[in-house]
Amino acid sequence: MHESKSSGAKNIELALGSTLSRRSFLKILMMTGAAAALPSTGLLRSFSQEGPAFGRATFAGLGAYQTFRNACPRNCYDTCGIVSYVKDGVLEFVEGEPTSTYTDGGLCVKGYAYPRTVYSPDRIKYPMRQIGRGSGNWERISWEEALDAISGKILEIKEKDGSLLGMALTKYSGNFGITHYGVEGMLSSLGYTTRFVGTPCWPAGIDAQNYDMGNMWCNDPEDMVQAKYIIVWGANPAYCSVHSLKYIYEAKKRGAKVVVIDPVLTQTAVKGDEYWQVKPGSDGALALAMSRHLIDQGLVNRDWAAANGLGYDEYEAYIKANVTVEWGAEQAGLPVDVVKRVAEEFAAADPATIWIGYGMQRHVNGGVNVRAIDALVAMTGNVGKPGGGARYGHLFTWGFNYNAMVQAAPEGSVGYTGATGPKGEFDTGQGADATASYTDRTFNINKIGQEILDAQDPPVRLLWIANKNVVSQDFDKNKIVKAFEKVEMIVAVDLFFNPTVEQADIVLPTVTPFEDWTVNVSYWHYWLHLNEQAIKPLFETKSDIEIASALSAVLNAKQPGSCTFPQNIDAKEMMIKEFNDGIYQLFGITSWEDLRKGAAKAKLPSSASWSDLKFATPSGKYEFKSEIAQTNGHTALPEYKAGREAYAPLRLLTPHAKHGLHSQFQNLDWMHDLNPEPLVYVHPQTAGAKGIVDGDTVRVFNPTGEVRLKAQLTNNVPADTLLMYEAWFSAKNTFNVNLLVDDVSSDMGAYKTGSPGVAIHDQFADIEKVAA
């Protein structure tokens, strides 16, 4: 007997099987200027012939849809609010949240592709077990079978080692929804384990701003409209923060000058009034040279430095004794007169601001370079001003309860007895059983391959991977794959069969943001977004906290008291428990339900960070000279530090792509129409010397590894530089920039994030033409 399917079930099948959907997607991107952050009132109308989630659906009029509030939880400045349109249980359309003046009704190219993420035929639908790692020989198993195997391994490790330090977690930024910190909570609820701590993204800059100001705290990006002078230094918001561009445009309209400093002529650079193509890693020397010129010309705001700074006189003495404008300009590859002129313009503007990008601190001298730029902003009196500031990021709106994360270890748990391990990037200091003498064992997240290879007493026996594509995104892929061979069981929680899943024993299918309840804030802007469950989870997918709850139930059935994570949870109730009076007060709401009406913005006394000029440093002042920095092995002053010595003929840069975010989005078939294959960008002069013409297949290689791909010739990159954008394209495409990126550390990061960063842009390689 066959039951008829509901219209919703039929529509879901249609969505999953569609071959026409990308046509509408391309149409909409053309209409919106390839995802410029514009109000999207025309967005829905453009689907009058066919919807983006499934080709043969027609737009039924706004009244036919349920609408839900969602948020993009990916590792991005913009953390966009989303309005989702659902009909018969199917997510048909998305648009930007209109109640947020930051999102302002528009999404980026990636955001508009979200329906395809939900209904991609490539999604992992069920728990799967691989017979032979990397073999591709997958078999479907039930949740009961998967959790039985995992729980059995956990208990085996506990009995064998007397602790669970042989179980390790590596997790990062695949989903920054607050309830997803329940992954850490799951590990805490099992006992003391091994954690990979730190961040590959921005740690050197975090430490730098903590040394200088006592915390990382940026102005509201919306107040850039008040700036009279903007330097975008090592950031590419045209790719990575499209919603911020409108504030730069408005500032320009009001008369501000925009200078872009970057080794690559980016889409952001061409929108500036002036572009400086600097040598990578020379940023500190350039900032010092600009500072020297201000000193020489009497343009330092000495009143500000005297009233609000500590150690300025010593800093000035260092610069006079060690820095000349000519030297700094030569280090950066810029004309001396240009450096002098822009330094003068910056000092004369009131207010003036610098956006410090994350790329420029991904060097062996990245942290001290940020300190030199911070000092340039401070010595011109631009810290604490609306429209001013050294803009890097903040965590001031992240004060949730972390209810899902804070779980107690089971009674009698045994852990690490060495020195207390460092905190993770967003560790609130409320970890499990904080008064116990035991701790988790901590490893450097940026050296996962080496840490696993070196781990002993016990080795890493079980590795849990969540919200992270390790093999694509972590450094020295070959070393990582070799290290994984040492691990007895690898469990990956993911949406797609990516390169990390290929190396797993068991994969657990997880939900998209539209199938989950959580709440999101940004590390850049000051808006709060609710993420409602817009559609029911497809197939057998579960959220991170639902997986933790299910595992807890199985473990406690086998060994009562072995796991403290709640065994019966409601995802919505878990989300509600993350709120507190402090969050309500900060955002001017009385209940989380207020967010169903739209986004809320933090109620701060000023759009400017440090507006009261009371810094969080030991002295309470801006510290040009930091004793904490010196104690931690750095120079007390932001002195010059040389970059990494080249070990191959050409520098290799691997920045963020336009059509993907790390290893997300680019794998979708819709994105393949826009960006079908990876390329290496080569200057014509370099290509000519190597006998390479546009479209040739080339081999890019260094001591870490090699990749083969097509070359595209461009004057946008320097002659001594190769450029390829990081991305995971598909299971059929083995391209991976981290075959060429080693795990050499940046100078800072350990102070506040637990581990130093990675010198991602201090990499070098060679190139040669090969047969196609």
Provide the strand spans (E) within 27-154. Answer: 66-71, 81-87, 90-96, 128-130, 138-140
Q: What is the dihedral of CA 184, 186, 192, 198, to 10 degrees?
A: -10
Cα–Cα–Cα angle for 312, 318, 319, rounded to 5 degrees: 90
CB 107 within 8 A of CB 43: no
What 3-state DSSP class applies to 657?
coil
Q: What is the dihedral of CA 607, 609, 613, 619, to 10 degrees?
A: 170
CB 97 within 8 A of CB 82: yes
Write the single-letter amino acid at 181. Answer: Y
Cα–Cα–Cα angle for 400, 406, 412, rounded to 5 degrees: 170
- Comparing CA positions, the residue from 234, 199, 185 lying closest to residue 75 is 199
For the chain, first and last CA: distance in Å?
Answer: 55
CB 474 within 8 A of CB 500: no
Provide the strand spans (E) within 434-497. Answer: 441-444, 462-466, 489-494
Q: What are phi and psi of 611, to 5 degrees?
A: -65, -25
User: How many of the other CB atoms lie within 10 Å of CB of 691?
Assistant: 9
Strand partners, 708: 699
Strand partners, 493: 466, 508
Measure the CA–CA gap between 205 and 356, rounded to whole angstroms. 9
CB 697 within 8 A of CB 735: no
Measure the CA–CA gap between 240 and 523, rounded to whole angstroms. 13
Angle between the N-to-C axes of helices 143-161 and 544-558, in degrees from 0 to 180, rounded to the nearest 10: 60
Measure the CA–CA gap between 497 and 117, rounded to whole angstroms. 13
pLDDT along the chain (772 residues), means of 10: 41 48 50 37 30 53 93 96 97 97 96 96 98 96 98 98 98 94 98 97 98 98 98 97 98 98 98 98 98 98 98 98 98 98 98 97 98 98 98 98 97 85 40 65 98 98 97 96 98 97 98 98 98 98 98 98 97 98 98 98 96 98 98 98 98 94 91 92 98 98 98 98 94 93 98 98 98 78
Residue range 128-202+399-521+536-601, CATH number: 3.40.50.740
- Comparing CA positions, the residue from 269, 327, 282 lying closest to residue 651 is 282
- Reply yes or no on domain 66-118 having CATH 3.30.200.210: yes
Q: Which two tokens stand for residue 611?
A: 């507006």
Strand partners, 168: 194, 463
CB 600 within 8 A of CB 283: no
Its CATH architecture, for the domain 650-769, is Beta Barrel (2.40)
- Comparing CA positions, the residue from 164, 161, 157, 169 lying closest to residue 195 is 169
Q: What sign for the dihedral angle of Cα 316, 317, 318, 322?
A: positive
- At residue 363, the pLDDT reads 98
Measure the CA–CA gap between 549 and 553, rounded to whole angstroms. 6
Measure the CA–CA gap between 356 and 370, rounded to whole angstroms. 7
- At residue 24, the pLDDT reads 54
| Digit-coded pLDDT (tens) for 581-635 | 999 999 999 999 999 999 999 999 999 999 999 999 999 999 999 999 999 999 9
Measure the CA–CA gap between 432 and 281, rounded to whole angstroms. 40
In total, the chain counts a number of residues equal to 772
Q: What is the pTM of this model?
A: 0.93
- At residue 22, the pLDDT reads 52
Measure the CA–CA gap between 652 and 724, rounded to whole angstroms. 8
- At residue 15, the pLDDT reads 52
**Residue 422: in which H helix or E strand, if any?**
none
- At residue 60, the pLDDT reads 80
Q: What are the sequence ranges of the domains in the chain?
A: 7-60, 66-118, 128-202+399-521+536-601, 219-392+613-631, 650-769
Alpha helices in 120-241 (DSSP H): 143-161, 182-190, 203-213, 237-240
Which residue, chain included where needed, has tokens 């980026």? Answer: 108
Measure the CA–CA gap between 326 and 334, rounded to whole angstroms. 9
CA-CA distances (angstroms) from residue 88 to 8, 266, 541?
Answer: 5, 43, 20
Measure the CA–CA gap between 287 and 374, rounded to whole angstroms. 9
Q: Which two tokens stand for residue 644?
A: 């990494």
Provide the strand spans (E) within 412-488. Answer: 441-444, 462-466
- At residue 5, the pLDDT reads 40
3-state secondary structure 216-240: CCCCCHHHHHHCCEEEEECCCHHHH
- At residue 48, the pLDDT reads 28
- Reply yes or no on domain 219-392+613-631 having CATH 3.40.228.10: yes
Measure the CA–CA gap between 86 and 44, rounded to whole angstroms. 13
CA-CA distances (angstroms) from residue 186 to 286, 337, 409, 728?
Answer: 46, 58, 10, 28
Measure the CA–CA gap between 718 and 686, rounded to whole angstroms. 9
Measure the CA–CA gap between 712 and 679, rounded to whole angstroms. 6
Q: How far is CA 287 from the centre of its chain?
A: 26
What letter does residue 593 receive in the DSSP assignment?
G
